[in-house]
Structures are given as structure tokens and as C-alpha cells.
Structure 1
Amino acid sequence: MNPITAVSTVVSAAAAVVQAVSQAKTVFWGSHLSKLVLTDNAEDNARIINDAFAVLLSHVKDSNKMESSETCKEWISQVKDFAAEYDKRSKESSFWSPSSSDYIEQRRNMLEKIKKLMQKKYEMMVDSSPERVVKSSRVPDISRFRTLQEPLEQTLVLLEHDKIKSICIHGTVGIGKTTIMRNLNNHEQVAKKFDIVIWLKVSKEESEENLSREHLQQDIVQRLKLNIGDTSNAREVAKKISMELEHKRYLLLLDDVKDCLDLSEIGIPESNNCSKIVLTTRVLDDCSEMVDREIKVKCLSRVEAWQMFQDVLRQTELIEDKKTKQIAEQLCKDCGGLPLVIEKVANTFKWKAKDDLWVDGLNSWRGWVKRECQGIRELYELLKQFCYDNLDDDQCKNCFLYGALYPEDTDINKNDLLECWEANNLLFDGNSATNGNSILDYLHKLSILEEGKSMDHVKMDKFIRQVAVYVTEDYPEHRHLVKASKALKQSPDVKFWGEMNRISLGDNKLDQLPDSPDCPTLSTLFLQKNLCLERIPDLFFKNMKKLGVLDLSHTGLILLPPSISSLDSLKILYLVDCKNLRNLPSDIDGLKQLETLDIRGNAFNNIPLQIEKLSCLRRLRVSFTKSGNESVHLNYDIISKLPKLEELIIDVNSVEELPNEMVDNIIKEVATLQQFKSLKICLSKKVAVVLEVKSSRSLHICSPETAFALYLTTNSSWRDAISAFEFYIGCQNSEVSQFPKFLKYDKYIKYCNGASSSFPFPEALAKADALELVNHKDIKQLSDFGVASMNMVQGCLIERCDAIETIVGDSAVLPKVEHLFLKNLPKLESIWKGPGLTKLTTLVLISCQMLVKIFPAGVIQQLHEVQYLKIDKCQKIEEIIAESDAVRNLNVLPKLKELILLDMPKLRSVCAIESLEWGSLEKIEILKCPILLKLPFNKDNAAKLETIEAEQEWWEKLQWQNDEVKERLQKLCTLSS
């Protein structure tokens, strides 16, 4: 290279440095300083020095704006001194004259000074640049706990997906979400993939949005080591953050997100350079709009929990003793698989060196309310923060605390809970039912309430319940006395009763109560499940003027005391399964406010005559038992004398059926009531129900046909007002819809255990938009019920109908069906024989053993709307889409988004033609399909595919068109062992 070319190269390098620093503010001097050398050409030397000096001055300008450290100020001062010298020397003509004797030496010294100042600046900037990853210290090793390791591995896989930008890890408090995130933050794969990892703890005490945004911005500024000077304007700070991250590949970790965040307001830029966001939350719905994928964290298995307990204990010799080990195992079991609780409890007990201390500790632990138990106070406070302090408002908090009144591990009936909330004035909204259900949903989403034994029940975890008990001790306005499930034989000292707002003594062995406790503020009294309680003192209720809820269910009561008539504030009286109670007191006029009376499961054989005096009664639930030659007298004429009655449940036990005349008379009575909403007659084989849906009069009925017809014709205002209904026909003990929760229908019929080709209520079926057919004995195809009768059905579920051979025969039934679920149909040979279901969006097939072909020839061409296809345990199916159909049209199922194939031993092909288009497919899941060895994808035909879920062993056996296709799809995989 000749000297001129060499000089040009150096000058270009210097110019590149000037541009890079001034525009992108990125330090390149570390690699370019050594390239700046002088030549024999005076003009080139002048240009090199001037360009280098210009770069130096540009850094001074930037430093004045962005940095204020003492080191930086000192450097700026040194540059200014040098600049003065440079300015003075540059004005001397001899400085630039090659004839000067020390020309080369002067130029070399000047350039060296510039290089030293730039080197110092470079070192300052390198020292102040943020680390790629700030590793969390003392991160628990979760590699041995599959329940925690699996969400971590799933997250790492999803981070490799180019199209997935945000991931949510969710689960209840204390389940290990933050621990998983810390392991993610420290993972080597993360450090290699991203330029910078930013961890933000989102939840703070500040409730206002602007304060929350401010603290997040401050954390980011600190993490990025940005100098924002005196800037306090959030938009300006966001702009600086965005500029800093715009060209970086970042991973943003947001821990404990409670609301949907607008990250652009904070300064997080939209990125197309593989930047990612991972967040944790307790409630997925709160931030669902922010994420592309979600991963749920589950509780540890019993084996994992015990392993973790021992790990924290670290002193295995403590539990070598058989007795101590049994206590430790019981403690661990009581922790419910929550790592947070396991850690706290194990740490509390590991200092107990003797087995008797372990026994005492177990008793204290199970008492919980003894908060002086060392180490437990902190756990209480932590759970209190999540379960109480962070609830939306006082209404939700009060409803949560009310749950502590129910005995531990009790299934709580949702309707009962809502009624009690309402009676205690905890539901402030005008529409109490709607408001109450929204609070139930909210508490369920937070995992404060769990699903109970059925969809009609909820449960409260023992720890969460004890937190509620704990909270009430610190809030005098609640004042709860909770001694449920304590095996008490004597009630608490009467001196404590008078201070309480609510008392719960349920599920004990009480056989007597105080004579006349003075309880001026008592609003709820739970005495249920005290089977030994046969009598209550006559004056027991005399001084309970504010009592609103009284539960005496499942007791041995023979009579109610006279003082019950003094409860003029009582709104709810539960007397369920008091099997020795044969009647109500003759004088119940005093129950002026009573709204709910439940006397099911008692020894009544009629509706007590006294009930007609309860003018405010809204809900009446009664049952009758026929014994010997006694006859059942319903006294149904009482019904029309209750003007505010909304709900009537009549449960007739040990009676095969009521005379149609009696059912007809009941319906006549309720038809005269203007506020009536719900009738339910429960027989051994039949159920009749009418209920309210969406605040409009609606029907939910299964009764003799004559009764239904009579009901429709008795009151024209009722008939005309019916805009929604639910029919359960022959569905004793199965009054639950099996449709997925996201499918809501206004006009719904469930028909069980039928044996006739004539549908019981064709008039209703003709209007229904949803039909469930379960365990029908005879029909071979759906059109046996009549074509016109199903023209409005949009959702159809057919299960355990042993005779059915096809769904749609030669006649066009279900023309509007969108969602079709077929389960356990042993003789089903085809879905279609005639016209296809052109509006179908969902098709689910489970355990249809005789089905060979899903789509008959030509039918698939009509299915333009199908988005979800699931096939499970269909043993004879060999291919999903026939080759002949694919040849005719490469764009079949154009809107299919999700394909799930499970447990099909003979499935050999999804589609034999690999050029088939999958224009909308986003997810495919394949499990237990051992001879399916090829996927119908090439490098171009499934551009929107984001997720493949499968087994690792199966994936490794797949045959590929080429390595390019395999590598592309490998990035989308979530593989299980």
C-alpha cells in the first residue's frame, strides 16, 4: 500500500470515528486509537490532528450534557486546558511548517496528548457502561424440582421464537414465580442471547399510575447508568431510555405485574431485533393484553415438597428420629406444595433440637393465630400483603374476611356465600347478584378462592383462611370469634360473645349454648354441624337485635326456641338437614326482614303454614320426605301469598314422582308472582327449574310435558318475556353445562338418558342456540329428532350416545352450528353424510372408536371457517386430511389456527401432500402418535406457526424433507420428556 493510500485509510478511519461518536454516541476509540499515525505529508498530518481534535471536543460537549461525576469534570478541565494550548499553537505558522526543525516532534506530541485524553475518556465510558447481566445472589437451585424447572425450560425455549415477544409466568402467591425468574436472569443462555437484561420489581406501595411509572423509570435509568441530569419530565426520561435501548437486544424481566402496563410510556421501545419481555403475575387476566404466551406454575408434588423441606432443614439428623420425622412430614404436607410456606416453616423448625419441641411447634403451627410462634409472624405479614392489602377496595376485603367464618377445608356453596355477603351489606352495588359474582370471580382469579367439589362451590386454602383470621384480630370493626372445627364440647366463655360482630362455632361437638348472651353488634352466627345440639335455650336470641345471618344446618335440633321471633333484623335462616326438626315455631311474625329460608332435609311433609306470614321472603327452599303411609301435602296455595318470592326449590325425597296435577298447581301459583324468577322441583327422576338469566325472565325446566305446556300458556307476560332459558331434561344430579367456559349461550338445553326419537320439548329445541345430548339410548343420527327443530343451534355437544352412527345424515341439520363436540361415541362412523357444516369453527372428537375418516370426500372443501380441531383417542384414524382432498385444493382449512392430535396409535399422516398451505396455523400439539413420522410442513407453507408441543422422543424420530425445515421448526418446539 503506497503512503497516500495509507494516509487516506487513516483519515477515513478518523472520520468514521467522528461520525460514529457524534451520531450514535458509541465508543469506538478503543480499537481506532492505534491507527492514528503521522506521515511525511504535512497536509495529511494537519487533517489527522484536526479531525482527532474535533472528536475530542465532541466528547466534551456530550459529557457536559450527560455526566456530572468528579472524574468527568476533571477530564473536561484537562481537555479545556489542552484546547487552549492547541488553539494557541495552531495560530503559530511555525507549528504547521515542515521546515521547522522540531516539526515531527511537535506534531507527534500533540497527537499523543489527544490520544491520551481520548484513552482516558474511553476508560471512563467503559467503566460507566452497564453490565450485560446483574446476577441475582443466593438464587435457589430448582434443577431438582421438575415443577419449577419445567416453566424455566419452557421460557428458555420461547425466548428462541422470533415471533414471540412477551411471555407471562403466572400462579398463586408463594408458588415460586420470582425464583423461576431469578434462575432465568442468571441463566447462561440469557447472557449469551441478550445485550442487556433489565430486572424490574413492578409492584410498589404507590397506587397512582404516575408514581408507578416514575419508580419504574428510575430503576431503568439506574440499570442503564443513564445521566438524565435535572430532567424530571417523564416523557423526556422515556425518550432517553428509548434511545438507549433502540439498538440493543434487551430482555426485560417484570416481576409481580398487577395491571396492564403501557411500556412505551416508560420508554421501552417496540423492537424487531429479538428483544423480549418476561413477566410474572398472580392474575393472568390483569396483563393478558401484554403477552403472547403464558406459562402456569403449579404447586410442588408431595415428593418435591418433602425434598425441599429437607433441603431447607439441612440437618437430616433432626428427622432421623421416627416421631420427629412423622411430625416433619405432616408439617410439609400442611404446607400445600407452596415453596414460600415450605421455606418459612422449615426455617422455623430447624432450630428445634428435641422432638418435644417439634410437637409443641406443630401445635403452634396448626393454631396459627398464636402469632408469637417464632418465624411465623413474617409469613403472616407476607401473605397478608398479597391476600388482603393488595385487594382492589374495602368491598373485596370485607368479602374476603367473611370467608374465614367457614370451617377449614369446607366447600362453600356460592349462592349461600353471595346471600350472606348481601345480608351483611357487603355488596354496595345496586345489583347485588352481579356485583357479588364479579367479586367471586376476582377472588378466584387471585387464587384466594379455589374451585370446590363442583362448579357451584368454592374453597379457601387453609393458609389463606388463617390470614383472614389473622387480619380480623387487628381490625376492631370486624371482631370475629372463629372457633370452627375445634372439636369443642363447650362454647367459648360468654364474656367474649358481646364484643363480636360475627361468631363461627361450626363443625364442633357443642351440646349446649349460653342462656342469653348479650350480643348487640352480632350480625352473623354460624352453629352448623353441631350434631349434638338438640335444644337452644328459650331466651338465647333475645339480645341479638342486629343478627342478619343464622346457620343452624346439620344440627340435632328438635325445636327452635321462642326467642327466634325476636330476630327482627334476620335476613337468612339456614335449617338444612336438621332431621329431627318437624315444624317451625307457630309465632314467627317477628322475622319481618327474613329473605331466605332453607328448610330442606328436615322431617317436613308440607310447606309450613306459618311461612305465609313472612312477607319479605324472596327465597324458599323446602323438601318433603314420605314415610310409611303418610301423604305429601305441598300447601302450594301459600306460594301466591308471598308477594316478593323470587325463588322456590321443592325437593321431594323417597317419592318416585308427583302427580302432574300437583306440579301444574305449583306452576299456576308461581305464575301469578310478578317478581318470581326461579322454580326448581327435584324428584327422584325429574327436575323442573325456572331461573333468571341476564336480568330477563328466563326458563330452566325439566318436567312433565303437560306442566311445561301449562306453564307457557298460564301467563302471557311470562311467555312473552322469556328471552333466555336453560332446560335440563332427565339430568338428575348433572345440571352442569360441559361446554367450555368461554362459550356462553342464552337458550340452552341438556337432554340426558333419553330413549325415544321424539324430543320432549320440540318448541324449545326450535329456539335453542345450544344443545347437549348425553347418554341417549336409541337415535342413530341427530336428524331423528327432526330437521327444523335444530335450525338455531350454534353449539352442540354429544356424549355417550351408544347408538349414534352419524351426526349429519342426508338431511341438513345444524345449519348454524359453530362449535361441535363429540365424545365417547362407540358406534360413530361418520360426522357427515350429507351437506357439510359450513359455519363450523370448532370441532372436537374424543374417544370415537369406530371413526375412520374425519372428513368425507369433498366435505372439507366447505369448511372455510374451522379454526380449532382436536382429535383425541380415536383409535382407527390413519390420516387427518385425505390426499385426494388436498390435490383438489391446496388451501383447505384456510382459517385453522390450532391443531391438537392426541393418543392415536394408527395415525400415520396429517396430510401426505407437503405443499398443502397452512396459512393461519399458529399452534400444533401432537402426543402419543407413535407412527406419525412426518409433518406436512416445508420452509414456506406455515409462516404463522409459532408453537409445536410434542414429546422429545417422538421429535427425534421424525423424518425431514431437509435440515433447513428441521432447523426452522426446532425453534418453535416445546418438548416434554
Structure 2
Amino acid sequence: MAGTIVEVAGFLGTTAGALQAFLQAKEVFLDPLKVRPLVNVEEIRDALNEAIRVSGSIRMDFEDEVEKSKTRVPSRIYMEWLHRVMEIEGQVRDVIAQSNEKKWFWFISGRQDFREDMKKMHEKVIQLCQESKEIRDKMLVDRAPERVVKRKGPDISKYEALRKPLEEILECLKRPKVKVIGIHGTVGIGKTTVMLNLNNHDRVAQMFDIVIWLPVSKEGSKENLGREHLQLSIAQRLKLTIAGTSNANDVAVRIATELKRKKYLLLLDDVKTYPDFDEIGIPLSNNGSKVVLTTRLSHVSRNKMVNKVIKVAYLLEHEAWTMFRDVLGREELIKDVKIGPVAWQVCRECRGVPLLIEKVANTFRLKHDESLWSDGLNSWRMWPSQECKGMREMYELLRFCYNDLGDDRYKICFLYGALYPEDSDINKDSLLECWGAEDLLGYRNDARKVRVMTGDLILTHLMNVSLLEEGKSDYYVTMDKFIRQVALYILEENPECDHLVETNKELSKPPDEETWRKKRRISLGDNKLDELPQSPNCSTLSTLFLQKNLGLTTIPPAFFKRMRKLRVLDFSHTGITSLPSSLSVLTILKVLHLNNCEQLVELPSHIMKLVQLESLDIHGSGITYIPPHIDKLIFLKRLWVSLGNGNDTTDVSFNYDMISKLSGLEELVIEVISPQQWNEVVEHIMKEVAKLQKFKRLKVCISNRIIDVIEVAPMTVRIRVPEARILLSYIRRTWWKEVRRIGAFRIFIGCENSEYNQNPEFVRYEKYFKYCNGADSKTPILEVLKEAEAFELVNHKDIKQLSDFGTANMDRIRGCLIEGCDAIEAIMDTVGSELLPNLEQLFMKDLPMLKSIWKEGPLQPGSLCKLTTVVISSCRTLVKIFPPGAIQQLHEIQYLTIEKCNEVEEIIPKADAGVILPKLEELTLLGMKKLRSICANESLEWPSLEKLKIFECRGLCKLPFKKGNVANLRRIEVEGKWWGALQNQEDKKELEKLCNFGMTQQCSSMKKRRSEQAFEN
């Protein structure tokens, strides 16, 4: 038992004093039969008190760990242990309280039963501490699947043709006998849109334990996706681990077992043949679970297993017109006497099909005059044939949007996107690299920067006209499956088609070698290929996609021998183990993707022969370092590599020094498996890329999340680093002086999320700096702070006043926000030179120790002379807003907001007189419990005040305003009850004409939060 105590104390990292107390107490408590008779209650009490302190430390450590975890939740074992710990803590507190109340009595009598009670408690505490070692490993379990995963979808509330089917489905979900519901309609009619709204509906989330969305369509086939594919998607949604389970029947049993415990809603999108639910593992039980499927095929909707079929109709004419105008987003065009009627005709040509309306309206949105609209309408009317029906008609109509692109570069870039397998999330940067490598951007010999800028313009335009759409994140795009079919249809129209696209077909054997001949681009991705032709004759081949063929392990030795014009090669997500020597003939290859080839552990030396290579992606492969030979690739611009792999989360030796040898490198993306490596990795890499003259972008990928660390654009640089010293090591090695002189920057240190400013108002400032979670006023940030126009200090741990950074270092600051800094007592020290002479906006939020904005004393001339906006929120110990005399110098303030500062009793000191705040336009006071007065001096003038807002300031019984001193007041927002209780208010009836009574949304939220806190307490 003595060993147990030592282990527990060591396990927790307890203090030396706590450990010593345990060791001194061990003889007393380890064996109740050997307790020394002379030990008194007071000594037992002290030792028990120390023991419970240690157990409390364990509990708090565990609670911190649980709170930090965002992906896992507390286990039942841990919750039971926590309950017992908290229970014994309560018992010990009661016993110790008793011993303190009766100290002398117990000391003299030494009651045996009381000592026994405390010894038993001590044994329980020791036992709980001992259990904690086992609990730690079982403390967190994987979070249960979300009940509903919300999906992006358009709002259909304006369109009865879409809203009505949704309401019908919701009613059917209540009926016990209806298990399978079919949504039927033609292509683009809105079936998927209806089901997206069903998925996101609040009533659905209340009715089912889990909602599973499952796309089941299969490209170019009358069949659904394969059984294994569907099972894998369902297993991932249920968070079932099926790795290593090769038998589909076993997987079906696993899925069925899990779903039988739940009331589920299965949403199947684009069904082409009625599924065998038993084969997949879907139990059609009687517990209220439902299946809803969409299909355009009548034989699916007529299947006897479908209990209810709901047909989606075309939009009514007025609904179609509403949708067209909403998508167009340019009401001035509709109001134009010439364009308006043409727009109406264009909308009618869409025949009430939502998909067509969206695509066509986006296309016409960019046309600025009547002739372009008329030409576009006439051109469109020439496409569809009256005999065309169904899919073919839809393809012809959608093709109009393609034809309207005009510029051949835009068209060919759009068609290139169809090479990617259906429903692919296409990395934007990789797509731009492929376009550039294929010379699709029209700048074969121009600088890469020009090509990338052109590619960005084309990509943006294709997204604007909805031919490409936003993917799973900002870094990806995707192509709607119908739009992709249009692209493939256009490619096939050419009798001399030079593209071969066979994706998602579950091919196990490649097309014969003759089929490969004279092809310009070949895409065989997302199949089950396990072999390739020995040496196909591909003398004109420029792009080859073979990604997502996991069974492909070997590349024939002479495979590349007759592909000398190849520019883009994608072998990602394959099982290849090596690259053949024939790779060396690809001397004009520019893009090589080998990412997620886990069996590929090295690049051969003949990779040096790829002298024109610009982009290399090996992340997620078996290569966990930078291959040393690639320093010979002098044109290499983009590199994506992993540090470690999925089977190795330990620290590894990474050859960072190779980075600075890649003289032409412009972009580096590095994947880090362990988040703990983040600081070290960024520090090492930034030291190396700082030596590269052409470097533009650094990204770090952690757990599929991409973090932009460095991004250099024309005249702008964006940097995000975890610690200040890392930034310093970078800027001292680079072109910081040049950026400081002419450029804009946005720099984030220690920020959890750098994508947003804490204050959106600061967007307008070109030089923006945000510093989070710092712990030292002597931090090496001053070189940046000296140049910044906007500064946000968030969650700093120990700085006591902003001026600790040095007032001279903040002379250029125009916007400043300070939030969550627990130690700050004042914003500025008034001693010395002028303070913040250019500051325009000051925001102070959640500063629990803030006593004053600046220390007592007059402001130096020029201090805060441009300050227009002051917002103070949740500063619980702040008593004085403006020290006496200081407010006279703040003559530029236009907006003043103070909320939830509970100790403030007066806004403007009584000593101040005359005209103050002459430019104040808006005054807002919210949730001020002790506020008694805005200003005791009723002779003050408020010449510019236009808006007054006061809520939840019940102690404020009188206002210093009357009609004569607020001549420009236009609006008063207050609670009606509070206004009625105002005392001796002159001109109250006159002012009441300006009142708008009621609770603001903000105050309602405040009340709601207080109610929730009261309930929790």
C-alpha cells in the first residue's frame, strides 16, 4: 500500500510537500489494525485533508483533459469514478468541519468511532487514487456519431413545388406502416434539393437517433454503386471500424447490429436500381426507422417495397421567376425596359427546372446589355431539339451554359475537370497546376505567376457560373454529376475524340493497348485495376489519371517508354511499391502525384531526369522525408510531403535542411501526423524557407485540416505562427523591410483560428496584427507592432497594461481590441509621451481586473486625439470609465458602448463641465446593474447625439437629457417599463416621441444566458 501512495503521488506530479505528507501518514493508515493508540484526531484529520487534496488534483487534471478534448467524450467508467470522488470529497469536508467545531472535545476524548470513520475515508481516497491510473486510459471514448450532419442546400421556403413534397414526406415519417418513401421526378427537378432540406429539418433531428445520407448513383451505368462501397460509407457514418474485415457479409452483420439499436432515417440519393437492403445490412425494422430515396426512374419508384411515392413537379411560372431573379441577384437588369422582357423569356425557356434556372441565371448574370441577352437567348433556342426528351434534352440545355463561356481557355479548363471521378473533391491548387502544365491557360512561355493568376480568374469564373462548385472546404472544388455528364457528352461528340474517361466503373482490367493509342488525355481513376499494359503506344498522351486503384501494385518496366509527351501523371491512392526506370523518359513531365501511395517508401534516383517537374506530391505515402535527389529539379515550384505516416506518430528525423536547397520552390505543404509536432515543425521550416528568394506559400496539414502559415500575394503577406519567437526567426531572415515599407500584412500569433479578425471592423486596416495566448510583455513582437495599424491582444496571461509593450511601438495603431486578458489593470500609463495618437477604435472585452482605461492623471497633449469609437464589455471590476478631466480631451468620440460592467456607477465624472464629447452620435448602455447616473451635471450639452440605447440599467432613474440639449436626437431604444419609472424627467413627453420600446435581441440573449446559468447553478 505504501508503494501505491508513492506511485499515485508521482503519477500526478504532486508537490514534494504533498508526497512527504503521504509518507508521514502511511504508518497511521495503511493497516487499521496497526494504528498507534496515541495518534489523535487532529493528526488524522490533517493527513486526511492532505489525501483529499491530492485526489482533488487528480480529478481536476482529468476534468481539464476532458474539457480540452473536442473529438472524444467521457466514458461511463470515468463518470462513475468521478461521482465517487466527488461524493467522498463531500463526506470529508463534513467530517473535517465537525472536527474543527469540536476540536478540543475530540482531542481529549479521542473517540475511537470518529477515528475509524476517518481511517475508512482515507482508505477510500487511496483506493480511488489507485484506480485513477487505470481510469486515465479509459477516460475518453470516441464521440457518438452526430444525430444529423447538416448539408448545404438551397432554401425552398419560397417555392411551393418543392416545399409541398417536403411537407408530405414529413407527414409520412409519422406513419408506422410507411417504411420506404420514394421521391420521383426528372433530372434537375429538385429531388435532391428536397431531400437536403429534409436532412436539415429540425423535426427530423427530433424524430430519429441518426440520419444517414448516402449517394448511391454510379456513373455511366444503370446500376448503383457496389455493395462494398455503400457499406463503407454507412460504416464511416456510424463510426464502425471495419478495417481488416474483407467479408461483405460480416460487414452487413456489423451494420445491422448497430442499426437495430437505433431509430434511423436512411436517405438514398439518385437510386438507379432498388437496393437489396439485407445484403447491405439495413434492417427494415418496426421501430420507426425509415428509408427515403430519390430516383428519376419510374421502375424504382414503382417497386413494391416503396410504400409511398411523392412526385416533384416543375416550378410554377411565378416560382421559377422568383428563383431566376434570386440567382441572378441583379435587380437593375430586371428593371431595365429592354433586358427585363428578355430575362422573362430566358426564364421561361428553363421550363421550371431548378437546375437549369440556377445554371442559366448564373450564365446571364454576367451579361450587361440587351444585345448580349438577346444573342444569348437566340443561341440557346437553337440548341434543344423538339424530339429530345429526358436526359438528352437536359444535356443539350445545360450545354448552352458551356457554349456561353466563349473563350476557348475557359471551355477546355472546364472540360478538363471531367477527367476527375464523379463526386471528387478536386484540390484547387492541383487543378491549377494541371491546367498550367497542359498549357491550357494560353501562356506557354510566360512566368508561372502569370499562369497562376490566369488560372485563378478562370477558376473563379467557372464557380461564378456554377459549372464548378465549392467542395468540402475552401481548398477544393467539385463538379455536379450532371454538369460532368455534359462535359463528357461534349467530349464524345467529337468523332476524333482524343479523351478516354472510364472512371468509377470497377474495372479490374485496363482497356486494351489499341484503345490507348492517340489519346490526348486518359482517366481510369477510382476503379479496381490490378495491372497495366506493358508499353502502350501513347505518343500524344499529355495527362494520365490512375488514382484510387488500390489493387495496382506494379508498374510494368517499359510502361512509360512511349509517353514522352506526358505532362501530368497521377498515381495517388494506389498500391504501387516502386517507380520503373522508364519514368526517366518523361523529361517534360510537370506534375507528379504520388500521394497516399503507402507502399511507396522511396523515390528512385532517376527522378532527377524529370528536369521540367514543377509540382511533386508525395504526402501520405511511405516517403516521410524530402528525397535528396530532388534538389536537382531546378524548376520544382510546389512540394507536398508528410512528416511521419499514419503508422508512426512518434517524432522522426526530418531533413529540414533540404528545403533551402530547392532554389526554385514557391510553395510547400507539409502534413504533420501528430498535432504535438506543430510548433517544432513550423519553427524548423520557417527558418529554411526564409532563405528562399521565390517562396510564396507554406501550408501545414494536421488531421485533414490545412493551415495557411505563410501566404505572399502582390503587396500583401499573411503569416500565422504558434509562437512569437518563430515569427521573429522568419522576418529577420526575409524581405520584411520591403513589406514594412510598401506592403500590407495580416499576422497571427498563437491564434486558434486565423481566418477571422476578432473585430470585423479591422478589415479596412492594411497592416493587421493579432496576438493570442501570450505570456510575456518582453515578447519579440515589437518589430511587427511598430508597423501595425490594427492590433488585437487576446487571452494574454500576465501583461498588466497595454503600454508595457512600449507606447512608442504603438504610434501607428488605428484599431485596438483587448479581450480575455486576465491580468490587465489599465490600458495605458499616462506618464511620458503622447499615447496612441492615431487610435480610432478601442474595444475592451472580458477584462476581469481592469480598474481604469488609463491611470490617474492628465493625458499628454496629442493622446487619443483621433479616437472615435469606444466599446467596453464585461469588465467586472471597472469603476471609472473616464477619470476626472480626461474626457475633455476625447473630443472626437462618436460611438460609445458600455455593457455588463457591473461596478460602474457613473459614466462622466461630476467635475467635468461645459461641452464634452461634442461629436458623440450614439450612446449604448446595456446590463449595468449599479449604474446610477450618466452624468450628474445637467448643464452639459450633447450637440451631436442622434441615438440612445439603454437596457437593463434598472438603477438609472434619471437622464441628463432634455429637448434643449439634445437637439439632434432622433431615436431612443429602451424598455417601456423602465421608461415609465423615470423620475422627474424634464421634457419626458417630448422625448417619448423618439422612443422605440422593447427588448433588443442582444438583451434578450443576455437574459437567456443568465437563465441558463441560474439553471446550471
- TM-score w.r.t. length of structure 1: 0.51
Q: Secondary structure at the match of 1:803?
A: coil
Distance in 2 between residues matched to 1:503 and 1:852, nearest whole Å: 73
Distance in 2 between residues matched to 1:899 and 1:465, nearest whole Å: 54
CA distance 1:471–1:713, change in 2 (3 Å): closer
Contact 2:182/2:294, CA 8 A, preserved across alignment: no
Ranges in structure 1 where 5+ consecutive residues have no aligned partner: 1-296, 366-374
CA distance 1:800–1:697, change in 2 (3 Å): closer
Superposed displacement of residue 385, structure 1? 0.4
Q: Secondary structure at the match of 1:587?
A: helix
After the TM superposition, which residues 440-839 of structure 1 pair with which residues of structure 2 at under 5 Å, given as runs? Answer: 457=475, 466-467=482-483, 469-470=485-486, 473-474=489-490, 488=506, 508=526, 510=528, 512=530, 514-515=532-533, 534-536=553-555, 548-553=567-572, 555-562=574-581, 564-625=583-644, 632=653, 634=655, 636=657, 639-640=660-661, 642-648=662-668, 667=687, 671=691, 673-678=692-697, 691-695=711-715, 705=725, 708=728, 712=732, 723=743, 727-731=747-751, 737-740=757-760, 743=763, 745-811=765-831, 813-833=835-855, 835=859, 837-839=864-866
Contact 1:424/1:523, CA 8 A, preserved across alignment: yes
Distance in 2 between residues matched to 1:956 and 1:521, nearest whole Å: 85
Superposed displacement of residue 759, structure 1? 1.1
CA distance 1:568–1:880, change in 2 (3 Å): farther
Q: Does 1:840 align with 2:702?
A: no
Report the counterpart of residue 144 of structure 1 in structure 2: none
CA distance 1:570–1:771, change in 2 (3 Å): farther
CA deviation profile, 1:879-899 (whole Å, cap 9, x unmatched): 8954749964365443x4x77
Report the counterpart of residue 179 of structure 2 in structure 1: 323
Q: Does 1:381 align with 2:381?
A: no
Higher relative contact order (CA closer than 8 Å, sequence separation 6+): 1
CA deviation profile, 1:257-288 (whole Å, cap 9, x unmatched): xxxxxxxxxxxxxxxxxxxxxxxxxxxxxxxx
Contact 2:883/2:909, CA 8 A, preserved across alignment: no
Distance in 2 between residues matched to 1:465 and 1:323, nearest whole Å: 28
Contact 1:549/1:573, CA 8 A, preserved across alignment: yes
Contact 1:745/1:770, CA 8 A, preserved across alignment: yes
One-letter amino acid of the counterpart of residue 626, structure 2:
I
CA distance 1:465–1:538, change in 2 (3 Å): same
Contact 1:950/1:975, CA 8 A, preserved across alignment: no
CA distance 1:694–1:942, change in 2 (3 Å): farther
Q: Does 1:309 align with 2:164?
A: yes
CA distance 1:587–1:838, change in 2 (3 Å): same
CA distance 1:304–1:613, change in 2 (3 Å): same
Q: Does 1:332 align with 2:227?
A: no
CA distance 1:631–1:668, change in 2 (3 Å): closer
CA distance 1:909–1:625, change in 2 (3 Å): farther
Q: Secondary structure at the match of 1:334?
A: helix
CA deviation profile, 1:324-346 (whole Å, cap 9, x unmatched): 4476998623258999xxxx999
Distance in 1 between residues matched to 2:989 and 2:518, nearest whole Å: 77
CA deviation profile, 1:785-811 (whole Å, cap 9, x unmatched): 333333333333434333223322335
CA distance 1:533–1:757, change in 2 (3 Å): farther
Ranges in structure 2 where 5+ consecutive residues have no aligned partner: 1-151, 185-190, 202-269, 271-292, 314-349, 368-404, 444-448, 1005-1017
Distance in 2 between residues matched to 1:349 and 1:933, nearest whole Å: 71
Distance in 2 between residues matched to 1:964 and 1:566, nearest whole Å: 89
CA distance 1:314–1:768, change in 2 (3 Å): closer
Distance in 2 between residues matched to 1:552 and 1:584, nearest whole Å: 13
Distance in 1 between residues matched to 2:930 and 2:412, nearest whole Å: 56
CA distance 1:308–1:643, change in 2 (3 Å): same
Percentage of matched positions with identical amino acids = 41
Distance in 1 between residues matched to 2:761 and 2:594, nearest whole Å: 33
Moved more, 758-767 or 555-564: 555-564
After the TM superposition, which residues 843-922 of structure 1 pair with which residues of structure 2 at under 5 Å, given as runs? Answer: 843-845=870-872, 847-851=874-878, 854-866=881-893, 874=900, 876=902, 881-882=907-908, 884=910, 888-889=914-915, 891-894=917-920, 896=921
Superposed displacement of residue 779, structure 1? 1.2
One-letter amino acid of the counterpart of residue 809, structure 2:
S
Contact 1:660/1:707, CA 8 A, preserved across alignment: no
Contact 2:425/2:472, CA 8 A, preserved across alignment: yes
Report the counterpart of residue 56 of structure 2 in structure 1: none
One-letter amino acid of the counterpart of residue 831, structure 1:
I
Distance in 1 between residues matched to 2:564 and 2:821, nearest whole Å: 57
CA distance 1:438–1:710, change in 2 (3 Å): closer
Distance in 1 between residues matched to 2:952 and 2:549, nearest whole Å: 51
One-letter amino acid of the counterpart of residue 889, structure 1:
V
CA distance 1:883–1:311, change in 2 (3 Å): farther
CA distance 1:301–1:377, change in 2 (3 Å): closer
Distance in 1 between residues matched to 2:638 and 2:755, nearest whole Å: 20
Contact 1:691/1:699, CA 8 A, preserved across alignment: yes
Superposed displacement of residue 565, structure 1? 4.3
Q: Secondary structure at the match of 1:792?
A: coil
Contact 1:548/1:572, CA 8 A, preserved across alignment: yes
One-letter amino acid of the counterpart of residue 787, structure 1:
T
Distance in 2 between residues matched to 1:487 and 1:362, nearest whole Å: 31
Distance in 2 between residues matched to 1:427 and 1:622, nearest whole Å: 27
CA distance 1:792–1:376, change in 2 (3 Å): same
Q: Which of structures 1 and 2 has the bigger CA Rg?
A: 1
Moved more, 803-812 or 319-328: 319-328
Contact 1:452/1:458, CA 8 A, preserved across alignment: yes
Contact 1:657/1:683, CA 8 A, preserved across alignment: no
After the TM superposition, which residues 242-257 of structure 1 pair with which residues of structure 2 at under 5 Å, given as runs? Answer: none
One-letter amino acid of the counterpart of residue 902, structure 2:
K
Q: CA RMSD in A?
A: 6.4
Aligned length: 657
Q: Secondary structure at the match of 1:798?
A: strand
Distance in 2 between residues matched to 1:814 and 1:381, nearest whole Å: 56
CA deviation profile, 1:221-277 (whole Å, cap 9, x unmatched): xxxxxxxxxxxxxxxxxxxxxxxxxxxxxxxxxxxxxxxxxxxxxxxxxxxxxxxxx
Distance in 2 between residues matched to 1:790 and 1:569, nearest whole Å: 52
Distance in 2 between residues matched to 1:915 and 1:786, nearest whole Å: 39
Superposed displacement of residue 582, structure 1? 1.9
CA deviation profile, 1:335-392 (whole Å, cap 9, x unmatched): 58999xxxx9999899998465979999999xxxxxxxxx999333222202445457
Distance in 1 between residues matched to 2:786 and 2:952, nearest whole Å: 41
One-letter amino acid of the counterpart of residue 382, structure 1:
I
One-letter amino acid of the counterpart of residue 837, structure 1:
L
Q: Secondary structure at the match of 1:796?
A: strand
Q: Secondary structure at the match of 1:322?
A: coil
One-letter amino acid of the counterpart of residue 179, structure 2:
K
